[in-house]
Amino acid sequence: MRVVIAEDLALLRDGLIRLLQAFEFEVVEAVDNGPSLVRALASHRPDVAVVDVRLPPTFTDEGLKAALEARKENPGLPVLVLSQHVEQLYARELLSDSSGGIGYLLKDRVSDVGQFVEAVRRVAGGGTALDPDVVAQLLTRHSREEPLQALTAREREVLGLMAEGRSNAAIAAALFVTEKAISKHTNNIFGKLGLPPSEDDNRRVLAVLAYLGG
Amino acid sequence: MDDREIATRDGSGRGGFADRLGEIGRRGLLSLVRGLIQAVLALGVTLPLTIVTALSIAFIPLGVGIVLAPVFLTALRGVANQQRIWAEEWFGVRIPVPYRARPEKMGPFRRLGWLVSDPATWRDLLWCLLNVPLGFGLGLAAVVVLVYGLEGVFVAPWLAGVTDYGWGPFWMIGDYGVFGIVGTVVLAAALTVVSVPIASGLLRGHALFSQSLLAPTRTALTERVEHLAETRSDAVDVSAAELRRIERDLHDGAQARLVALSMNIGLAEEMMKHDPETAQKLLAEARSASGEALTELRGLVRGIHPPVLAERGLDGAVQALALSLPLPIDVRTDIPGRLQAPVESAAYFAVAEILANVVKHSQAQRAWIQAEHAGGRLQVIVGDDGIGGADPANGSGMRGIERRLAAFDGTMAVTSPQGGPTVVTMELPCALSSPKTLPSSGTA
């Protein structure tokens, strides 16, 4: 799987390269600024890009802008955005074209190597990987509303994991229950929220996020 | 080469002279028109305004004045402010506005007190009185000289033999024959020409007269200096307290966690050989401790300067803030560019504090934010449909916002009747830098 990395801190960049290579990704280019990222994305057309939000030369949201730009040219280009802080505003911008293949995680999450690599693979496969912090914000925002009040504590937990982009199997593993139990929960959730049921994991995640106004 | 240069310079010199002559003529004409405006204003506006204002003040004990005096005094301020603008526009004579700051809540009595207790009000009134003769005289004198001169050139010479010419010719035409006529025309032409600089000079004199009464007195400046000294020491106190808080948070929080973290890692290193299982547990602990340290640092950074504010400015930061709160907030912004960094930060934290109050106390279902920059001022309005009854005098948070804003000459006004709604309006004078552009998006 071919990856482009954009990260301006050399230490983190090298760490990411080493980490991804250890899991048999092919790092085709690692850049340290916005303009180079735009160029690299256009020329390599990687299977997935891992991008830091804040990059030179402006040190603002250069990386995010470049990623959004690249996805406009090349719809569905899988991009996993990393940042020191997560904002629902940015999550909404990333998810706005609803074509999938989007990840948005805190840099801290890299420390859980297994989860992180799983997230990169999921995004490369057109899935979604949303940081638990963003999901928590989304859920708090709607916590006062009627349909969410109707969910049980367990269903809310499942909804959160689903919004992060995890498959039924992954949710089952995380909660130590069977996949069958999870699919019963998801059916209940979709029923209570009035969403059309769907077997496709990606489409299901996007429906949940659209509902939460991500 | 020298010749050519001189020739060019000569040519441009001639063109410049003609231009300058035109400019002088244009400016002279302008001065005469402005003089007429001042003269009309003196008799038509300041004369009646002096009388009604003085009368309304005299009637304050009878009660009628309580209503009328503020109306006329406000009108007087309007006239005085127009003079201040003209003095600067026409002659570059700067007359700062001397009035005391408007109190936040104003009943009719406070309004009257605010107007009457300000020495600038009385100086305005004195100006208004003196402007009746001075504005009329200084404004009209040049026009009279001009008309007199024009009469001498164009009308008088034809009237040498006519006896019933209105009030009679003012020039001595009939007594000296041809010499009289020539002399009259020359003299009158000179007067016509001279009237132009006279007009400008007299009007400038009027501007200086206005400045002497309409500019802030020394006491007003002293008050301003006191206000500045106070807000500055407040600002210094606030930032020193902030630094102390940050130091404490770092010392007790992230720093302590990192110490524990490195201890755990060191211990794990030791254990690796003979007790790998415990070592693994210690490393897992270390990882979760590092996560906690990072979360804490992130919170601290948000408190110092939220990253989204650095990345997107007030506009984006307020939107991000609104999205992170558990009630729908409608955000409308019109800020074409980036604000100065300190103002941006002060405005952001003010909005954050107000919204925190909305979430905590108001029981609101919805809130809205409106931020716009116009005329060198940033205005931010935060409203909610909650229960109202918010009193800035009670909450330390609100006082904090006021002090923070005061450092930038900013103001905050709160209206929050029992039963709601609550609307907080903040205003900050500030410049706007040009809209930010991303170098990457243009070239790619």
Same domain, B193 and B291: no
Same domain, B316 and B283: no
Flag whether B116 is in a domain.
Answer: yes
Helix count and strand count (H, E) for chain A: 11, 6
- pLDDT tens digit string along B231-261? 888 888 888 888 998 999 888 888 888 898 9
Q: Which of A116, A141, A145 to mutate to test the interface with B (most CBs of B within 10 A)?
A: A141
Same domain, B45 and B97: yes
Flag whether B263 is in a domain.
Answer: yes
**CA-to-CA distance for B118 and B103, rounded, in angstroms?**
12
Q: Which residues of B touch A90 (CB under 8 A)?
A: 308, 320
pLDDT for A192 = 87
- Asked if A144's CB is within 8 angstroms of B326's CB, the reply is yes
Any idea what the CATH number is for the domain that residue B359 is in?
3.30.565.10
pLDDT for A149 = 83
Identity of residue A209: L
Mean pLDDT of B298-310: 91
Q: What is the dihedral of CA B103, B105, B107, B112, to 10 degrees?
A: 0
Same domain, B258 and B285: yes
Q: Which of A87, A107, A149 to mutate to test the interface with B (most CBs of B within 10 A)?
A: A87
- A7 has pLDDT over 90: yes
Same domain, B316 and B435: yes
Asked if the C-beta of A109 comes within 8 angstroms of chain B's C-beta atoms, the answer is no
Flag whether B2 is in a domain.
Answer: no
Mean pLDDT of B33-39: 89
CB neighbours of residue A168 within 10 Å: 21
Which residues face A128 on adjacent strands?
A102
Nearest to A119 by CA among A167, A74, A86: A167
In the listed set B243, B275, B303, which residue is the last one of a domain according to the structure? B303
- A35 has pLDDT over 50: yes
Pick from B301, B324, B440: which is nearest to A62 by CB?
B440
User: With 0-12 CB in 10 A as exposed, 13-18 as middle and 19+ as buried, what is B260?
Assistant: middle
- pLDDT tens digit string along B49-59? 999 999 998 88
Which residue in B has a C-alpha nearest to residue A86's C-alpha?
Answer: B308
Asked if the C-beta of A57 comes within 8 angstroms of chain B's C-beta atoms, the answer is yes
Q: What is the dihedral of CA B318, B321, B326, B328, to 10 degrees?
A: 20
- pLDDT tens digit string along A176-186? 999 999 989 98
- pLDDT tens digit string along B181-238? 787 788 888 888 888 888 888 888 998 998 888 888 877 778 888 888 888 888 888 8
Q: How many domains is chain B partitioned into structurally?
A: 3
Residue whose structure tokens are 């949710």:
A171
pLDDT for A52 = 95
Flag whether B4 is in a domain.
Answer: no
In the listed set B287, B303, B319, which residue is the last one of a domain according to the structure? B303
- B152 has pLDDT over 70: yes
- pLDDT tens digit string along B129-138? 999 999 999 8
Flag whether B106 is in a domain.
Answer: yes
Same domain, B37 and B52: yes
Q: Give the pLDDT band of residue B175 (cuts 50, 70, 90).
A: low
Tokens of B388: 């109202």
Pick from B307, B324, B440: which is nearest to A35 by CB?
B440
- pLDDT tens digit string along A119-134? 999 999 999 999 999 9
Which residue in A has a C-alpha nearest to residue B319's C-alpha?
Answer: A89
**CA-to-CA distance for B362 and B172, rounded, in angstroms?**
86
pLDDT for B214 = 87
Which residue in B has a C-alpha nearest to residue A142's C-alpha?
Answer: B326
**CA-to-CA distance for B138 and B147, rounded, in angstroms?**
15
CB pairs under 8 A between A and B: 80
User: With 0-12 CB in 10 A as exposed, 13-18 as middle and 19+ as buried, what is A44?
Assistant: middle
Flag whether B5 is in a domain.
Answer: no
Same domain, B201 and B251: no
Which residue in A has a C-alpha nearest to residue B318's C-alpha?
Answer: A89
CB neighbours of residue A23 within 10 Å: 14
- B115 has pLDDT over 70: yes
Tokens of B3: 């010749």
Same domain, B313 and B299: no
**A60-69, B191-200, B390-399: segment of lowest average pLDDT:** B390-399
Q: What is the pTM of this model?
A: 0.67
Same domain, B24 and B77: yes
Flag whether B6 is in a domain.
Answer: no
Q: Give the pLDDT band of residue B439 (cuts 50, 70, 90).
A: very low
**Domains of chain A from N-terminus onward:** 2-130 (3.40.50.2300), 135-212 (1.10.10.10)
Asked if the C-beta of B300 comes within 8 angstroms of chain A's C-beta atoms, the answer is no
Which residues face A102 on adjacent strands?
A79, A128
Q: Please, what is the Cα angle at B9 between B7 and B10, to 5 degrees?
A: 65
Pick from B291, B326, B440: which is nearest to A141 by CB?
B326
* % of chain A with per-residue pLDDT over 90: 63
Flag whether B297 is in a domain.
Answer: yes
Same domain, B127 and B229: no
Same domain, B186 and B60: yes
In the listed set B303, B335, B366, which residue is the last one of a domain according to the structure? B303
Q: Kindly write down the DSSP assignment for every residue of B209-260, as one continuous string.
A: HHHHHHS--HHHHHHHHHHHHHHHHHHHHHHHHHHHHHHHHIIIIIHHHHHH
Q: Which domain covers residue B339, as residue numbers? A: 307-442
The alpha-carbon gap from A68 to the nearest alpha carbon of chain B, in Å, equals 11
- Give the pairing of strands B411-415 and B422-429: antiparallel
Q: What mean pLDDT is reported for chain A?
A: 90
Rounded to two decimals, the ipTM of the complex is 0.88
Q: Which of residues 280-299 of B touch A (CB under 8 A)?
A: 287, 290-291, 294-295, 298
Any idea what the CATH number is for the domain that residue B236 is in?
1.20.5
**B3-12, B31-40, B223-232, B248-257: segment of lowest average pLDDT:** B3-12
Which residues face A29 on adjacent strands?
A4
**CA-to-CA distance for A149 and B363, rounded, in angstroms?**
18
- B370 has pLDDT over 90: yes
- B88 has pLDDT over 80: yes
Same domain, B204 and B266: no
